[in-house]
Amino acid sequence: MTNTSSSTPFAQPSRDQLEVFPNQSPGRDYSIEIVCPEFTSVCPKTGQPDFGTLTFRYVPEALIVELKSLKFYLQSFRNEGIFYENVTNRIFDDLVAVLKPRRMTLVAHFTPRGGISSRIVVSHPSGEHLPPVA
């Protein structure tokens, strides 16, 4: 099952941008970790850019996210005015809806501004955070 919608790097954020491919080992529990160190969105209060690192950890069921489509999806937030907590939950909800993973954790660590940094962690099933990979 592959989403064949055409994605461009600067489209409006939409889960339709996320493409998937079949998990070739659906009977095995294994984790996938994807680190995106260049995530950018915009502060809705100041209009200044927000920068962060997104770390996805998931145990796939039937589907795996295709990385180029994930990159374009994440880049589509570049001009989106959205709070850290909201963008983290929106991205997470979109990935869970598309992938239907056994388990998933997203850690969004935003760079300091004014001496304050934020780390938002969300998991599926709720509260069952996957531990970091050593």
Per the CB < 8 A criterion, the answer to whether 65 and 106 are in contact is no
Of 16, 6, 12, nearest in space to 81 by CA? 12
Residue 46 — left, alpha, or beta (φ > 0 → left; ψ -120 to 50 → alpha)? alpha
Measured distance CA(116)–CA(74) in Å, rounded: 23
Catalytic residue among 16, 36, 43, 94: 43
Q: Is 29 a catalytic residue?
A: no
Measured distance CA(72)–CA(76) in Å, rounded: 6
Q: Is 43 a catalytic residue?
A: yes
Measured distance CA(8)–CA(34) in Å, rounded: 20
Residues marked as catalytic: 43, 50
